[in-house]
Structure 1
Amino acid sequence: MNVRVLTDVLAIDREFTYTVPEGWADDPRFGVGAMVRVVLHGRRVGGWITEVGVEAPEEVELTPLAKLSSLGPGRELMDLSEWAAWRWAGRRAHFLRTASPPRVVAGLPRPQRSRMVPSGDYADLFEGEGRTLRQGPSDDPLPIALAAASRGQALILVPDHGRADDLARRLGREGAWAVRYPDGWAAAAAGATVVGTLSAAWAPAPDLTAVLVIDEHDESYRSESAPTWSGRDVAVERARRAGVPCVLLSSVPSLEALRSRRVMRPSRGAERDSWPQVEVVDRRSEDPGRAGLYSPELVRALRDGGRVACVLNRRGRALLLACHLCGELAVCTECGASMRQTEDKQLRCRAGDHVRPMVCAECGSTKMRNLRAGVKRVREEIEALIRTPVAEATGSGYVGSPTARVVVGTEAVLHLGRPFDVVAFLEFDQELLAPRFRAREQALALIARAARITGSRESGGKIVLQTRLPDDSVVTAALRADPALLARAERDRRQELGLPPYGAIAVVSGPVAEEYMERFGTPLGIQVAPDPSGQFFLRAPDYDTLCDALASVERPSGRLRIDVDPIRAI
């Protein structure tokens, strides 16, 4: 007997034929998707069986499989990996790694009988093909997860590990046989309901009956490394192929979730009550050059004694400095770039390594004013303002007491897993004006995440938005607890511009990007625009057109990144 094997070597995206040693075909691990070891070019590498019972190529002496390692993804996920490789211009092995067990699995556990799981008021959600459900940010998704699990084997995605752990435990207490992915790979392959984050989109689910994606809008469902695949979209495709309902749950549904799907929403009163109070601090009347970050409303919130999280997506001490006397900006005398303050009170160029004393080049003053303070500087200033230790949270880590009443940080502060009474966005305009086409959608998603950790207005939750754009559709949507206000505005804008989901885009970058694009050429219906950084922006009317074109081009050797539907694209 012969088999085809896809090797776990990303640079070699092709299959090879091997013979099966005698007796292996009777092993329960053997079959399509099984993980094996093979000899390739003189060395042993891993791989997956893609086809069983193939004919041997003529005049070729076949090598036998070296080892039958473990149960693997199975035929459904093998087929799905081909679709994903086309959809995100990647290699099948990337996806099969995620779909494979983290440890060797020789056999599956005995299926457990779930105790009766009440479906409650949400059973009708999972009738038909499924739909998008808009739910308030402080509402509990457990009843909806129970409705999914009550149907049989459900696949439930949650954007972060802490909430996934909690949901799996709660489902278990309610009587469901639920496991966390990837540790529960074997149980999932035996029919257990799967709860997990991004990678769980590739969990084995032989008896799949329902799919639920909680907070479908969350960027955590996107892989940061290429291929930049979407866990939400993989889950939706799995449900479509299996013919089972898929429910997308969100407090601020993305346009992708709203398009071509039936949308259900709570009553206006119930939805409004689920959001915290939103206070908008209008700063239009203040002098941009002299106004600081600390409005009277913010100072009052800081001094009221509650737990406060201050969000500022600028790390460091100061990002823009000006002379306190003459107002001259602190710029590099070598290249003209802005300069930052170092820990030892020096000025360092942001573009190069030029360092000079903290002295105004125009008037000689040694006093500088922060026009755009970073997180570190803001923490120091708030500590002086309220005379209380303040903690700092960024993507690099946490500094300060774990129980600090006030925490200043980037949006990482919203991922601490701690409740706060108030979340204050110190300069919300930087989110609204970010040079990304999804900026407003992402800004409202930040508010929704903040709303989850503050709780509803009835529980005293509050969000403070400091802005010079109080009439922006994002601010209005948050103030009225009505995300549809933003969705309508974004839909019209993106339809007019042909941006996702009403068009398709990709970014090609890397050392061999230019060579790849020479091979790519100018296919019909695709616009190609290079930029000075060496990246290439591709636009097409739809993903079929774009992905077919990308798949038709042979990749040159060397590092290449193809980001299909980039979430941070300008």
Structure 2
Amino acid sequence: MSVPPAVSDPLVLSVAVQTPAHSGLDGLLSYTHASPLPPGTLVRVPLGRREVLGVVWDTAEAADTAPDTTALRPVAGVLEGLAPLDEGWRRLVGFAARYYQRALGEVALAALPPQLRDLRPEQLARRLRRKAAADAQADAAPPLVALTAEQEAVRARVAAGAGPFLLFGTTGSGKTEVYLRAVQAVLEADPSAQALVMVPEINLTPQLEARFTARFAPQFGAQAVVSLHSGMTPAQRLKSWLAAHQGTARIVLGTRMAVFASLPALRILVVDEEHDPSYKQQEGARYSARDLAVWRGRDQGAKVLLGSATPSLESWHASRPAAEGDPGSGRYERLHMPSRIGAGALPRVRRVDMNQQPRGTVFSAPLLAAITERVQRGEQSMVLLNRRGYAPVLYCVDCGWKSDCPHCSAHQVFHKTDRSLRCHHCGTASRVPRACPGCGSPDIVPLGRGTEQLEEQLAQLLAGVQRPGGGPVRIARIDADTTRAQGALEQQLAQVHAGEVDVLVGTQMIAKGHDFRRITLVAAVQPDGALFSSDFRAPERLFALLMQAAGRAGRDADYVAREGAAVEMWVQSLHPKHAVFEALRTHDYEAFAAQQLAERADAALPPFSYQALVRADARTQAVAQGFLAAASAAAQAATLPGVEHVTLYPPVPLTVQRVANVERAQMLVESPHRAALQRFLAAWHPVLHTTRADPAHRGLIRWLVDVDPLVI
């Protein structure tokens, strides 16, 4: 009688999957497979009635306890042909999940391209079999420009040091060329090395990609430089991600999501405009891509180069010179480039006291005369107002009705171009009423101003002005409304660069990173709103925005010298002597930073303390605040680890407390010790889950923890 061959027991795998939010399944899930799979392997696994993508994180041998395999479901499929995600990537994801208090599977799967999550193994296999298109014939590499003494000193220091480095370089000082040289040195030293270069905004990637492609495609091939950002189609993102994961792409350019790109041979990370709040994710896992870039560089032994003309106060404080008795000093090495390329001068800052102007004045007479002069000379001007639309609100003179959003505690913004009212929080849109809905009066007027109104008023004020050689003034507006169509932003920027625009009006989209060569005047017409904000970071953001905007003027020293142009930054304010404008007048970031850090030290605010917000969304404000208050009381009653070093403030509504008919509240958690705050948050997480399950909080929709919040 023959004996049937023994059937070996299936192996147990721990797999990271994206589980439903607040399901309580925030750890690794166990599945079985007939053969061992290395950690980092991508698999398809069943989850409830669905089949989802997962990442093998562990095996039974590494797990503390092996569960009963008869109760486990098997892996549905393996994405073969794709190398496992390496240990460095998994450590990054694990750290991000722990630090930002999110589920491991949520962070891991959100870091992968969406199309990869939906591909079945056979579909991926077909895609991987496709041969990559042959590299197009590359043009000759452009000749390297000669570095200034400051650029050369910084390049040499980056090459010789370990970092992280904070490159504090004034606008127009040539920081991008330093990035290019640093990346080139690393790639040439190691034939497999990869680089990650991040920018804060999608609209900055095309011009940066053009420079990197022109520099590196002749040497490393046309496929060596890829982009990675949310503006790409799912197929484009998957193609770029695969190129980076397989090592074909030597350089990845991207926005904050690119910090999670799979780069097995990562050797250098560059974070341009490191101060920009866009590096902080505001949905889902609320991570800081800048901070994760620093952590990833240190963990994987890669150089990290942060660059900005107005560094964040956190980075500036971390780069203070090392001093005995100051344990946090010297964490970053500060590098300085104070001079513009070509000996170009920073713009002269001229302040206009709007208290001395007629009531309702939008453009003061001196500013209007200066813009007119630029137009007549063939130069370009830029007008900055960080508010899109025509007016923030419509108002009835007779009864006081305002165009409030029916679903949010905010106004619907008046857009004159399409005669609509639109809420910029929930997206609700409606037609402009012919008469007041409250009293029937036809006397409805716009209150406040947006970029749309500035464009219209400038066209009226400059109607009689002639350009050199004749012709009317050409005014363009760049904001989120005018750049919705695919390729619209690139087309508008090309017109500005080609000199086809005399006056450019826009929001902060035009203030960052753009290398406009013919702009000699920049004007900020209504910057006062941030001066007295309840957000302690508002002065820092305003100063950075104005300094960045000023940096768009006079960038081409040869053009300025040839035309004899006066390079100016105009600021119209009701508080022209405010400390922000005083520091702006002398372009003295260091004095501004010292003053702000002194204030924050006195108030024990970041970077001298560490914060987290617990936010709750509910059907009523009472339920949202009730949940937060109960969670706070439960934390204190349980004497959680680190609670003695943590202050829990009472819950309060958000500034815009209702969005899309959902009430929002938050509670600030603060500690002078980062480690104590992290211990407390980790121990508090299950308490929050338990509190949410209490029937008393039945109206609660969701809650989240935001570590190191930028908006409070």
Band of TM-score, shorter chain: 0.7 to 0.9
For 1:62, the equivalent position in structure 2 comes to 72
Q: Give 1:66 deviation, angstroms.
A: 0.7
Aligned residue in 2 for 1:239: 297
Determine the C-alpha separation between the residues in 2 that align with 1:511 and 1:477.
40
Name the counterpart of 1:135.
Answer: 169
Matches within 5 A, 1:81-480: 81-101=93-113, 103=116, 104=124, 121=153, 122-126=155-159, 127-140=161-174, 141-151=176-186, 152=190, 153=193, 154-160=195-201, 161-173=205-217, 175=219, 178-182=224-228, 183-191=239-247, 192-261=250-319, 262-266=332-336, 268-270=338-340, 276-283=346-353, 285-286=355-356, 290-303=359-372, 304-305=374-375, 306-319=379-392, 331-332=400-401, 372-387=448-463, 388=473, 390-398=475-483, 402=492, 403=495, 404-414=501-511, 419=516, 421=519, 422-456=521-555, 458=557, 459-460=559-560, 461-480=567-586
The corresponding residue for 1:9 is 19
Which of 555, 561, 566 is the equivalent residue of 2:704? 561
- Letter of the 1:162 counterpart: P
Task: Tell me the secondary structure at the aligned position of residue 529 of structure 1.
Answer: coil
Alpha-carbon distance in structure 2 between the residues aligned to 1:20 and 1:35: 13
Q: Quote the Cα distance in structure 2 between the aligned partners of 1:509 and 1:80.
A: 25
Q: Which runs of 5+ in 1 are unaligned?
A: none
Q: What is the aligned counterpart of 2:652 among 523, 526, 531? A: 531
Distance apart, 1:64 and its partner CA: 2.1
Structure 1 residues 500 and 180, CA gap change in structure 2 (3 angstroms): farther
1-side partners of 2:435 and 2:474: how far apart?
Answer: 30
Residues in 2 aligned to 1:132 and 1:342: alpha-carbon distance in whole angstroms: 41
Q: 1:18: which partner in 2? A: 31
Distance 1:373 1:210 in 2: 44
Tell me, in whole angstroms, the C-alpha distance in 2 between the residues paired with 1:83 and 1:427: 42
Structure 1 residues 343 and 107: CA distance shift in structure 2, 3 A: closer
Match of 2:120 in 1: none
Q: Structure 1 residues 310 and 99 mapped into 2: Cα distance closer, same or farther (>3 Å)?
A: same
Report the Cα offset of residue 356 of structure 1.
8.9
1:517 CA drift (Å): 5.2
Give 1:145 deviation, angstroms. 3.2
Q: State the distance in 2 between where 1:201 and 1:311 align.
A: 30
Q: Secondary structure at the match of 1:228?
A: coil
Aligned-pair distance for 1:199?
1.6
Please say if 1:43 is aligned against 2:101: no
Contact 1:318 1:341 in 2 (8 A): yes
**Residue in 1 aligned with 2:662?**
none
**TM-superposed deviation, 1:474:** 2.8
Contact 1:276 1:457 in 2 (8 A): no
Contact 1:392 1:398 in 2 (8 A): no
The alpha-carbon distance between structure 1 residues 489 and 231, as it changes in their structure 2 partners (threshold 3 A), is same
The amino acid across from 1:486 in the alignment is F
| 1:441 Cα deviation from its structure 2 partner | 1.6
Give CA deviations for 1:357-407 in whole Å, capped at 9, x if unaligned.
589x9xx99697x77333333222211111146433332334999444333
Structure 1 residues 44 and 173: alpha-carbon distance in aligned structure 2, compared to 1, 3 A threshold: closer
- 1:160-191 alpha-carbon deviations (Å, 9 max, x no partner): 32244234314414735743244433343344
CA positional deviation for 1:36: 0.7
Number of residue-to-residue matches in the alignment: 549
- Alignment partners' CA distance in 1, 2:511 and 2:399: 32
Distance, in Å, in 1 between the alignment partners of 2:420 and 2:74 is 65
After TM superposition, give the deviation of residue 109 of structure 1 in Å: 10
- Does the CA contact (< 8 Å) of 1:138 and 1:451 recur in 2? no
Aligned AA for 2:589?
Answer: P
Deviations 1:431-480 (A, max 9, x none): 33343221122112212432454343735454322123333333233322
How much has 1:563 moved relative to structure 2? 2.5
Alignment RMSD: 4.2
Tell me the alpha carbon deviations over residues 238-279 of structure 1, each in whole angstroms, 9 at most, x when there is no partner. 112123332211111111212233453446555995664133
Q: Name the CA distance, whole Å, in 1 between partners of 2:479 and 2:34.
A: 54
Q: Which amino acid aligns with 1:125?
A: V
**What is the identity, as a one-letter code, of the residue corresponding to 2:97?**
A
Q: Whole-Å Cα distance in 1 between the matches of residues 420 and 129 of structure 2? A: 63
**Are residues 16 and 371 of structure 1, via their aligned partners in 2, closer, same or farther at CA, if it must alter by over 3 Å?**
closer
Q: Which residue in 1 is equivalent to 2:614?
A: 508
Q: Which runs of 5+ in 2 are unaligned?
A: 1-10, 117-123, 136-140, 145-150, 229-238, 320-331, 405-409, 464-472, 496-500, 561-566, 619-623, 637-642, 658-664, 694-700
Q: Comparing 495-504 with 117-126, which one deviates more in the overlay?
A: 117-126
Hey, what's the Cα distance between the residues in 2 that align with 1:274 and 1:542? Answer: 44
- For 1:144, give the aligned amino acid: Y
Partner Cα separation in structure 2 for residue 38 and residue 231 of structure 1: 29
Distance 2:398 2:336 in 1: 51
2-structure distance, mates of 1:561, 1:483: 35
Amino acid at match of 1:166: A
For 1:5, give the aligned amino acid: V
- Deviation by residue 1:204-234 (Cα, 9 ceiling, x = unmatched): 2333333221211122212131322111111
Assess, with a 3 A threshold, how the Cα gap between structure 1 residues 280 and 82 changes in structure 2: closer, same or farther: same
TM-score by length of 1: 0.82
The letter of the residue matching 2:506 is: G
Quote the Cα distance in structure 2 between the aligned partners of 1:479 and 1:271: 21
Please tell me whether the aligned partners of residues 27 and 104 of structure 2 are also in contact (alpha carbons under 8 angstroms). Answer: no
In structure 2, the CA distance between the partners of 1:528 and 1:322, relative to structure 1 (3 Å rule), is closer
**Cα distance between partner residues in 2 of 1:454 and 1:311:** 12
Partner in structure 1 of residue 466 of structure 2: none
The whole-number CA distance in structure 2 between the counterparts of 1:133 and 1:108 is 42
**Stretch of structure 1 that moved more, 297-306 or 182-191:** 182-191
Mean CA deviation greater in 249-258 or 148-157: 148-157
State how far apart, in whole Å, the 1-side matches of 2:130 and 2:316 are.
Answer: 39
Please tell me whether the aligned partners of residues 71 and 107 of structure 1 are also in contact (alpha carbons under 8 angstroms).
Answer: no
The answer to whether the 8 A contact 2:44-2:77 is kept is: yes
> SS of 1:562's equivalent?
strand
Rate the CA distance shift 1:333–1:195 in 2: closer, same or farther, 3 A.
closer
Counterparts of 2:532 and 2:345 in 1: how far apart (Å)?
24
Do the aligned partners of 2:403 and 2:412 also contact (CA within 8 Å) in 1? no
- Specify whether residues 296 and 75 from structure 1 end up closer, same or farther in structure 2 by C-alpha distance, changes over 3 A only: same
Cα gap change, 1:167 to 1:226, in 2 (>3 Å): farther
- Give the structure-2-normalised TM-score: 0.67
Counterpart of 1:373 in 2: which secondary structure?
A: coil
Secondary structure of residue in 2 paired with 1:559: strand
Secondary structure of 2:649's counterpart equals strand
Contact 1:236 1:246 (8 Å CA) reproduced: yes
Which amino acid counterpart does residue 370 of structure 2 have in structure 1? A
1:10 and 1:93 in contact (8 A); partners too: no
| 1:484 positional shift | 0.9
Q: Which has the higher helix share?
A: 2
How many angstroms apart in 1 are the aligned matches of 2:267 and 2:412? 57
Deviations 1:516-567 (A, max 9, x none): 5523434332222211442222222243333332222223474223332222
